[in-house]
């Protein structure tokens, strides 16, 4: 990758290096948990742990946030995860909220899409917010919560897996080297992954030869909050182009350059300026912020858990940026891993639960890799026949709807639906395809709580929740009794009753003011969902489960062997 920083409007914070104690006492430092890498994914982990009351240490080899033109699109699911830590609102306020994408062929629009056509979700489909802001806000929130020690300029240079359990890390600082013995290590050290390399793990997949110019420009333009993608625009010699707005009057421009482009030459401002000029026309003034020429890969390591070491984010898997699945996918790794590790650290679940991180997130990474690879393939036809088919799809897409579905300018990040993993309980009842199936992320809906308007999703997460849908006022009582019993069963289960709007007198309930909660959850009176701490569905029943069914589902979802597999224990 060639990269040129032209002019930065953003002031990079500089976080202080503090001399670690172990440098002075020379002893091996003992820690239950270490996060290696304070990028967007490692920081998300620290934040989620802090929210669960778990103290962590983060080691980062740098002393600032992400540099250069990297992630901009933050997905709804990421915002929902961050909202649990109270940092999403700040991001949405600063970010550019968008949900519409337009796809052009030449200069003509062939279609547009709306990523969130329905109302009644707290979070928007996407915001655009530069990765440096996301990281800065995460660091601010982490610092406020006071559970995390962020050690800047602490680079991990070696790792040894110990037979007795845990791992020994070698850490290099500006003032010398020290060692940490950690029971668990989260490897969030990015695509170059020092830990992955030290452990000799193969990082396999595809490399795309195509080069892309990725630049951020600053201009004052009255440009709508939408994603614009061009196939074969005349302003760029028929290769594809993308324009996307960010905060601070910054725009992301992606231009396909072909496989033979010279990365160093193409990153020179005198080459870039005329390209941008042709794209945006003669009138607008602009300045360049960053220029990079990238090639992209789609790769992963085979397993994401190696004993005490858990690989997350780009350290585990990497994708091309079309679809915004890199950072968003990595944050879902954290969503999946952190509650499990927290339960194990607190002695509330056994080590077996941690294997499910691998079982659930490897298929998720494959889904992201598949989608990103297909988009990249569509943009860069490898031979005559794929060029012909693309041409055919594009020309038909102006006329007939079916062809639009084949046009691929990026399939934007959505949360993975965990299939029948070891943690999910298969449906006992028929939901006729409605509501989130076991393993799926919980859908949001507006609800009233004690007469105040709020959001259903905000009531979920961080612990197991039994969500009981009741028919009318007072009807919730029976279900509530059941779930209160459950609460006594397990200290980390809480229950809520969702009541229809007519039942506004039910003081204990979440009132479904719009009917959307019942609708999105495919619920009727008596429906019960057991929702995991990561807001994914563990189990569900159309009519209230017996306490044994509930107990068994809960045991399953914390990785305990239920003995009689899904039956009453």
Ligand X SMILES: Cc1cc2nc3c(=O)[nH]c(=O)nc-3n(C[C@H](O)[C@H](O)[C@H](O)COP(=O)(O)OP(=O)(O)OC[C@H]3O[C@@H](n4cnc5c(N)ncnc54)[C@H](O)[C@@H]3O)c2cc1C
Interface with ligand X by CB under 6 A: which residues? 36-42, 59-62, 66, 69-73, 131, 155-156, 188-191, 194, 214, 294, 313-315, 321, 324, 326-328, 330
Q: How far is the CB of 188 from ligand X (least distance, A)?
A: 5
10 vs 111, beta carbon nearer other proteins: 111
8 Å CB contact between 51 and 143:
no
* Rounded Cα–Cα distance for residues 98 and 114 (Å): 9
Q: How far is the CB of 42 from ligand X (least distance, A)?
A: 5
Q: How far is the CB of 222 from ligand X (least distance, A)?
A: 23
Residues that bind other proteins (CB under 8 A): 371, 374, 377-378, 383-386, 389, 393, 395-396, 399-402, 404-406, 408, 411
Residue nearest to ligand X (CB): 39
Q: How far is the CB of 295 from other proteins (least distance, A)?
A: 21
Q: How far is the CB of 156 from ligand X (least distance, A)?
A: 4
Q: Are strands 297-300 and 287-294 parallel, antiparallel or unpaired?
A: unpaired
Q: Which does 384 bind (CB under 5 to 8 A by kind): other proteins, ligand X, none?
A: other proteins
Structure tokens that stand for 359 in this block: 């079982």
8 Å CB contact between 438 and 429:
no
Q: How far is the CB of 398 from other proteins (least distance, A)?
A: 10
Q: Which does 396 bind (CB under 5 to 8 A by kind): ligand X, other proteins, none?
A: other proteins
* Rounded Cα–Cα distance for residues 299 and 205 (Å): 4
| SS3 call for 376 | helix
Q: Which does 194 bind (CB under 5 to 8 A by kind): other proteins, ligand X, none?
A: ligand X
231 vs 469, beta carbon nearer other proteins: 231
Instruction: Tell me how many degrees the CA angle 33-39-44 measures, rounded to the nearest 5.
Output: 60
The set of residues, in sequence order, having a beta carbon less than 8 Å from that of 307 and lying 6+ positions away, is 161, 167
Q: Which does 202 bind (CB under 5 to 8 A by kind): other proteins, ligand X, none?
A: none
378 vs 418, beta carbon nearer other proteins: 378
Range 134-172 burial, b when 16+ CB lie within 10 A, else e: bbbbbbebbeebebbbbbbbbbbeebeeeeeebbebbbb
φ/ψ (deg, to 5) at 144? -60, -40
9 vs 386, beta carbon nearer other proteins: 386
* Rounded Cα–Cα distance for residues 424 and 536 (Å): 10
8 Å CB contact between 241 and 255:
yes
8 Å CB contact between 410 and 386:
no
Q: Which does 326 bind (CB under 5 to 8 A by kind): ligand X, other proteins, none?
A: ligand X
Q: How far is the CB of 243 from ligand X (least distance, A)?
A: 14
Q: Which does 328 bind (CB under 5 to 8 A by kind): ligand X, other proteins, none?
A: ligand X
Q: Which does 131 bind (CB under 5 to 8 A by kind): ligand X, other proteins, none?
A: ligand X
* Rounded Cα–Cα distance for residues 338 and 349 (Å): 13
69 vs 483, beta carbon nearer ligand X: 69
218 to 12, 45, 167, 248, 249: CA distances (angstroms) = 17, 32, 46, 8, 6
301 vs 393, beta carbon nearer other proteins: 393
228 vs 404, beta carbon nearer other proteins: 404
Instruction: Tell me how many degrees the CA angle 562-568-569 measures, rounded to the nearest 5.
Output: 45
Q: How far is the CB of 4 from ligand X (least distance, A)?
A: 14
Q: Which does 61 bind (CB under 5 to 8 A by kind): other proteins, ligand X, none?
A: ligand X
Q: Which does 288 bind (CB under 5 to 8 A by kind): other proteins, ligand X, none?
A: none
371 vs 425, beta carbon nearer other proteins: 371
Residue 108 burial by CB count (10 A; 0-12/13-18/19+): exposed, middle or buried? exposed
308 to 7, 168, 271, 354: CA distances (angstroms) = 43, 10, 48, 10
Q: How far is the CB of 370 from other proteins (least distance, A)?
A: 8
Structure tokens that stand for 435 in this block: 């509501």
66 vs 376, beta carbon nearer other proteins: 376
């Amino acid at each position: 990758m060639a990269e040129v920083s032209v002019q930065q409007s953003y002031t990079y914070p500089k976080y202080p290096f503090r001399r670690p104690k172990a440098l002075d006492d020379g002893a091996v430092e003992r820690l239950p948990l270490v996060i290696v890498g304070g990028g967007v994914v490692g920081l998300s982990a620290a934040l989620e742990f802090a929210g669960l009351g778990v103290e962590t240490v983060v080691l980062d080899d740098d002393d600032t946030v992400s540099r250069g033109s990297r992630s901009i699109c933050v997905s709804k699911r990421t915002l929902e995860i961050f909202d649990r830590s109270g940092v999403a609102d700040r991001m949405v306020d600063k970010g550019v909220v968008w949900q519409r994408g337009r796809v052009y062929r030449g200069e003509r629009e062939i279609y547009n899409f709306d990523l969130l056509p329905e109302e009644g979700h707290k979070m928007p489909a996407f915001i655009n917010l530069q990765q440096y802001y996301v990281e800065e806000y995460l660091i601010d929130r982490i610092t406020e919560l006071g559970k995390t020690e962020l050690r800047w300029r602490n680079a991990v240079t070696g790792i040894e897996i110990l037979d007795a359990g845990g791992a020994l890390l070698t850490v290099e600082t500006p003032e010398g080297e020290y060692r940490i013995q950690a029971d668990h290590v989260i490897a969030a050290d990015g695509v170059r992954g020092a830990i992955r390399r030290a452990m000799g793990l193969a990082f396999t997949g595809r490399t795309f030869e195509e080069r892309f110019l990725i630049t951020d420009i600053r201009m004052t333009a009255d440009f709508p909050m939408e994603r614009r993608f061009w196939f074969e625009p005349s302003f760029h010699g028929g290769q594809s182009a993308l324009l996307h707005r960010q905060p601070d009057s910054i725009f992301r421009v992606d231009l396909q350059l072909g496989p033979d482009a010279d990365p160093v030459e193409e990153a020179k401002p005198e080459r870039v300026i005329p390209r941008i000029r042709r794209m945006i026309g003669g009138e607008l003034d602009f300045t360049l912020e960053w220029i990079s020429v990238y090639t992209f890969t789609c790769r992963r390591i085979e397993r994401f858990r190696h004993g005490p070491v858990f690989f997350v984010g780009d350290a585990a898997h990497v994708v091309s940026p079309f679809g915004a699945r890199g950072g968003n996918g990595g944050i879902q790794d954290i969503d999946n891993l952190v509650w499990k590790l927290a339960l194990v650290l607190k002695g509330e679940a056994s080590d077996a639960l941690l294997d499910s991180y691998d079982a659930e997130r490897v298929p998720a990474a494959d889904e992201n890799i598949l989608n990103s690879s297909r988009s990249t393939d569509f943009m860069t036809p490898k031979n005559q026949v794929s060029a012909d088919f693309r041409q055919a799809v594009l020309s038909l897409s102006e006329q007939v709807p079916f062809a639009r579905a084949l046009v691929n300018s990026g399939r934007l990040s959505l949360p993975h639906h965990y299939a029948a993993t070891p943690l999910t309980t298969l449906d006992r009842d028929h939901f006729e395809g409605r509501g989130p199936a076991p393993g799926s992320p919980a859908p949001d809906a507006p609800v009233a709580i004690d007469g105040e308007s709020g959001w259903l999703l905000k009531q979920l997460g961080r612990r197991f929740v039994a969500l009981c849908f009741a028919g009318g006022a007072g009807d919730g009582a029976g279900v509530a009794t059941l779930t209160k019993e459950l609460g006594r069963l397990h200290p980390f289960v809480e229950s809520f009753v969702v009541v229809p709007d007519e039942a506004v007198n039910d003081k204990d309930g979440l009132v479904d003011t719009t009917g959307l909660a019942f609708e999105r959850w495919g619920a009727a009176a008596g429906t019960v969902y057991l929702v995991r701490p990561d807001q994914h569905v563990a189990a569900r029943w159309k009519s209230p489960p017996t306490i044994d069914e509930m107990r068994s589902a809960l045991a399953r979802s914390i990785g305990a062997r239920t003995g009689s597999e899904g039956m009453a224990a």
